[in-house]
Structure 1
Amino acid sequence: MARADLILNLVKAAARGDLAQFKKTVEALAADERAKNHTIFADQLIAQLHVDGNGLSRTVPPATRMLSGPFVVEVVPRRHIEDLILPLEAEQAVRELVEEQHRADLLRSYNLEPRNRVLLIGPPGNGKTSLAEGIADALGVPLLVVRYEAVIGSYLGETSQRLGQVFEYARTRHCVLFFDEFDAVGKERGDLHETGEIKRVVSSLLLQIDALPSYVVVVVASNHPELLDRAVWRRFQIRLELPMPIQQQIEEWFKRFEKRTGHKLGLTPRYLAERLMGLSFAEIEEFGTDIVRRITLSGPDADTKKIAQQVLSQWMKRATVKTDNTGKRD
């Protein structure tokens, strides 16, 4: 059965002749039905929004058009929040967000909505994308990743129009909408070097974010928060920093790695962490994959400790190559 609050909103919107509210409510109904796997009925609801007074379809529904686009890639989440090593504040904030989304009906009974806008900042390779995927996994919804190469156009107004289609598509389903490298479309409008077009894109983008229903969780990530428009910051109820890992976090990563893979490396997590300080989580994971790869190829008699030492030596030399003339690491 459809949610009573949505049916009531639908009747109120129709009685007032409020077409904008009527459309939003139908989209929310479609998203609710899609979450119950009633996809055919959900598609029918959206299709009716594009039928004229004579019963003829005015245009192809945006949801159908987006699937053939695509401006987004739908990802089935495989990362779990429990698998990630997060700062305590970030882990707590994410768990609160998930609880609010799961108990949205209780909040709505008190005229409250769950939070649904998350800004992630920090250097590359430290879990921003993984966290977005983990949130989608915890909510049991798909992760929609925006494809900038398809969205950003060269003609006036093209980018804003395509972004509008992205948001229109997202509003018809429960999902996590993820913008990586958000500074590509959310740049500071006061920057004298930017064109009028990017300023219009930012203005349109902020309006679209404001209009998102709470069942769509939008997560944006940036490696360069200093480039973001000032108005972007206040749009997001949750703002989290994911910094480079500290030694204790790297040690914890290796403890989990040994448990997950069943390989005892013969080198203590502390020893490895001390020598791999300065690497991102993505690089540490790549290091671990290198070890597993060599163990697999060496067969059942593999000397795990020797392999770990060899791979570590290679990575230490790799770090030296990254060092510039001043002796500082990139």
Structure 2
Amino acid sequence: MANGDQLKALFRSYAEGDDRHFYSVAMQMAAHEAKQGHGKLAEELRDLIDAAKARRHAGTVDGAIPLARPKGELASLLSVSYPSCRLSDMVLSQPVLAGLQQVLKEQKHLSKLRSHGLHPRRKLLLVGPSGTGKTMTAAALAGELGIPLFVVRLDALITKFMGESAAKLRQVFDAVASTRGVYFFDEFDAIGSQRGMANDVGEIRRILNSFLLMIEQDESSSVIVAATNHVGILDDALFRRFDDLVEYHVPSADEIRALLRMRLGSYLKSAKSIDALATEAVGLSHAEITRAVGDAVKEAVMHDQTSVPAEEVKMLLLQRQAVRRRTPVTRP
């Protein structure tokens, strides 16, 4: 039989979402049984481990496993996925990256920290302009931790009937407590705006009060992420409910160059063109630059080209700039 240390290591790695260590300990247990002469049991354990690895891989590629799919009314409040993206797929400022890496580090040592009476970071408020990476951050955190991403559907959460929204929010937080995942509240200002504002609606005020109470009481292992483009209108009481406030901005010149290199990849004909293209992209968000480059790459693929002309990328970046200024751009 497995010894106590192995069992503790197995449960600890499961609780922390450390699949690699979990499978390693499980294989050690199978090897131990084989040495004890329990060949049939050892073989069964190895078969179970191999099957679990295969299911895990299929779940991350094909979608969420059924056990993590919300049921009943909760299915209308949460959409679930298993993202494959990582922080390395993003171009982030150093302060943002360092903050997120600290969150991941603490999450991966969740059990150890809690055993010492410490609380790992897990409630994040992401603020900044549209298209700067807030939504992708939630997906990347889920991908890094190997847990599902649950997106809270605010359109289904907010109703005109007194008390109904708070009851639905309670269902969401019950899910937060029962199923570990990253729970993402996008466009959070829809429920988090300051109480007493001119456009204050009674039901919104009630749901904000409920949210403040529920997030403060929550002591689960899930990660709660809220994002807004309008931090200035958030209620002051919200800020102390979150462990970290993460501020996003449009990319700097260096970040634009890194983003262009990442998105163009092998389609980049000449590295010398990066600086000129970066100049045209100043002021655009990560999403706008990514879409412009993506459009250029798609054209290359459809025309069986192996590289993207710098002029094509430049024109698409200028078109994105024109949308911001609401001025037309004509091709030369």
Q: Same fold (TM over 0.5)?
A: yes
Residues 33 and 257 of structure 1, relative CA distance in 2, 3 Å threshold: closer
SS in 1 for 2:124: strand
Change (3 A) 1:321 1:255: closer
1:296 matched to 2:298? The reply is no
Q: Is the 8 A contact 2:261 2:268 kept in 1?
A: no
Q: 1:93 to 1:318 in 2, by over 3 A?
A: closer
Query: How far does residue 144 in structure 1 lie from its aligned partner after superposition?
Result: 0.3
Q: Which residue of 1 aligns with 2:31?
A: none
Compared CA separation, residues 33 and 99, structure 1 to 2 (3 A): closer
Alignment of 1:267-278 (within 5 A): 268-278=273-283
- RMSD value, Cα: 2.6
2:207 counterpart letter in structure 1: V
Q: Residue in 1 aligned with 2:106? A: 100
1:145 counterpart residue number: 151
Structure 2 residue aligned with 1:283:
288
Q: Which residue of 2 aligns with 1:14?
A: none
Amino acid at match of 1:264: L
CA drift of 1:321 comes to 5.0
How far 1:221 sits from its partner (Å)?
Answer: 0.3
Size of the aligned set, in residue pairs, is: 266
Give the match for residue 184 of structure 1. Answer: 190
Give secondary structure in 2 for the equivalent of 1:155.
coil
The answer as to 2:259 corresponding to 1:253 is: yes
SS of 1:74's equivalent?
strand
Query: Gaps spanning 5+ residues in structure 1: where?
Result: 2-30, 38-61, 326-330
Look up the SS of the partner of 1:85 in the other structure: coil
- The equivalent of 1:323 in structure 2 is 325
Q: Distance in 1 between matches of 2:93 and 2:130?
A: 16
Cα distance 1:321–1:86, how it changes in 2: closer, same or farther (>3 A)? closer
Residue 235 of structure 1 is matched in structure 2 by 241
1:255-305 CA distances to partner (integer Å, 9 max, x unpaired)?
22243xx212335211111011111100111011111111111114x6632
CA shift in 2, pair 1:103/1:316, >3 Å: same
Mark the CA change 1:187 to 1:321 in structure 2 (over 3 Å): closer, same or farther.
closer
AA aligned to 1:312 is K
TM-score, structure 1 normalization: 0.74
Q: For the residues of structure 1 that align with 2:307 and 2:17, how far apart are their CA atoms?
A: 52
State the 1:318 CA deviation.
4.9
Does residue 156 of structure 2 align to residue 154 of structure 1? no
AA aligned to 1:263 is Y
* Deviation of the 1:314 alpha carbon: 4.3
**Aligned 1:1-330 pairs, distance under 5 A:** 64-66=71-73, 69-259=75-265, 262-266=266-270, 268-300=273-305, 304-305=308-309, 308-320=310-322, 322-323=324-325
CA gap 1:319/1:171 in 2 versus in 1, 3 angstroms: same
Change (3 A) 1:106 1:124: same
Is the CA contact 2:192–2:235 (under 8 Å) kept in the aligned structure 1? yes
Identity %: 32
Normalised by the length of structure 2, the TM-score is 0.74
User: Take 2:71 and 2:115, find their aligned partners in 1: how far apart are those partners?
Assistant: 33
